[in-house]
């Protein structure tokens, strides 16, 4: 069983427990009371590579990364540094996240917030919207094509933007066929956890020009952003390099500065 399969197995078990505690009617009431979602697509376009800064305590690849006692405070520092959106890990077992983190971050920042998790059910989409998310992650490798297309449609119906994550050419094709407006290209192999930043340049060429391209994994220093910028990235998603930084806000600012496009250049 691959790492991804193990994670999805555990996610389904945790999901069943949450569904038993919080019924759909409760989530529907929460969604009805929530503020309208922000336009994440607009937030991820511009003349500078946008930075999606992540709240991430640990990962399967690196183990513990940071003790984040105040996710809202960290998100505020990210935004002060120029982050265009905040990603919040909500998976608890391997990433140390929670829906409470999502709620806290949503209340603290004026930019779009991504619920980053292993979404396999419409219930999780309702959870995301109920707790204030504007975007959700859909991982192509974790879903069959009918599931992917159904979840993307249901997310859109809820007003959520989907960041559809891919790892190879076939997954990019599936994301495009499903109608994704934002496609993430993850340089991390979810089976081996190895990172190959060159994957982005190869796969970005397969993504239509009207789709927002997001580079995931592989950003350690500002020059990495420049490499992704030149390969066509509209945005980068960065976690480990920020949560382990002594000054996360300044680190975001440095990444934003490195992503500025030459005059006249397009996304």
Query: Can you tell me which residue has the tokens 């030149």?
Result: 230
Among this protein's residues, is 116 annotated catalytic?
A: yes
Closest CA to 113 of 165, 52, 56: 52
* 3-state SS, one letter per residue, for the chain: CCHHHHHHHHHHHHHHHHHHHCCHHHHHHHHHHCCCCCCHHHHCCCCECEEEEEECCEECCCEECCCCCCHHHHHHHHHHCCCCEEEEECCHHHHCCCHHHHHHHHHHCCCCEEEECCCCCHHHHHHHHHCCCCEEEEEHHHCCHHHHHHHHHHHHHCCCEEEEEECCHHHHHHHHHHCCCEEEEECECCCCCCECCHHHHHHHCCCCCCCEEEEECCCCCHHHHHHHHHCCCCEEEECHHHHCCCCHHHHHHHHHHHCECCCCCCC
Q: Which of 59, 127, 165, 171 is catalytic?
A: 165
| Catalytic-labelled residue, pool 54, 127, 171, 240 | 54
Residue of 59, 87, 116, 251 with catalytic role = 116
Q: Is 216 a catalytic residue?
A: yes
Catalytic residue check, 28: no
Listed residue (158, 157, 211) closest to 184, CA to CA: 211
Take residue 105 and report the two structure tokens written for it: 């971050």
Of the residues 56, 87, 171, 189, which is catalytic?
56
Out of 59, 217, 240, 251, which one is annotated catalytic?
Answer: 217
Q: Given the residues 59, 127, 171, 186, select the one marked as catalytic.
A: 186
Active-site annotation holds for 189: no
Candidates 87, 171, 189, 216; catalytic one: 216
Active-site residue set: 54, 56, 116, 165, 186, 216-217
């Amino acid at each position: 069983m691959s790492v991804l399969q193990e994670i999805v197995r555990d996610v389904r078990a945790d999901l069943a427990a949450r569904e038993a505690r919080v019924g759909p009617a409760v989530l529907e009431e929460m969604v009805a009371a929530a503020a309208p979602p922000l336009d994440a697509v607009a937030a991820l376009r511009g003349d500078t590579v946008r930075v999606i800064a992540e709240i991430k305590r640990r990962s399967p690849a690196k183990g513990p990364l940071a003790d984040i006692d105040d996710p809202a405070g960290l998100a505020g520092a990210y935004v002060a540094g120029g982050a265009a959106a905040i990603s919040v890990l909500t998976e608890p077992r391997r990433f140390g996240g929670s829906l409470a983190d999502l709620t806290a971050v949503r209340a603290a920042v004026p930019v779009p917030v991504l619920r980053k998790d292993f979404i396999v059910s419409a219930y999780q989409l309702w959870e995301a919207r109920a707790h204030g998310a504007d975007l959700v992650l859909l991982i192509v490798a974790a879903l069959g094509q009918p599931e992917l297309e159904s979840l993307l449609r249901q997310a859109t119906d809820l007003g959520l933007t989907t960041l559809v994550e891919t790892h190879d050419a076939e997954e990019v094709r599936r994301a495009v066929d499903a109608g994704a407006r934002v496609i993430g290209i993850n340089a991390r192999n979810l089976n081996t956890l190895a990172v190959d930043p060159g994957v982005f340049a190869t796969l970005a060429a397969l993504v239509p020009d009207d789709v927002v391209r997001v580079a995931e994994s592989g950003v350690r220093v500002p020059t990495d952003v420049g490499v992704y910028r030149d390969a066509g990235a509209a945005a980068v998603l960065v976690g480990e390099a920020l949560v382990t930084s002594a000054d996360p806000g300044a680190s975001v600012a440095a990444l934003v500065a490195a992503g500025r496009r030459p005059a006249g250049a397009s996304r």
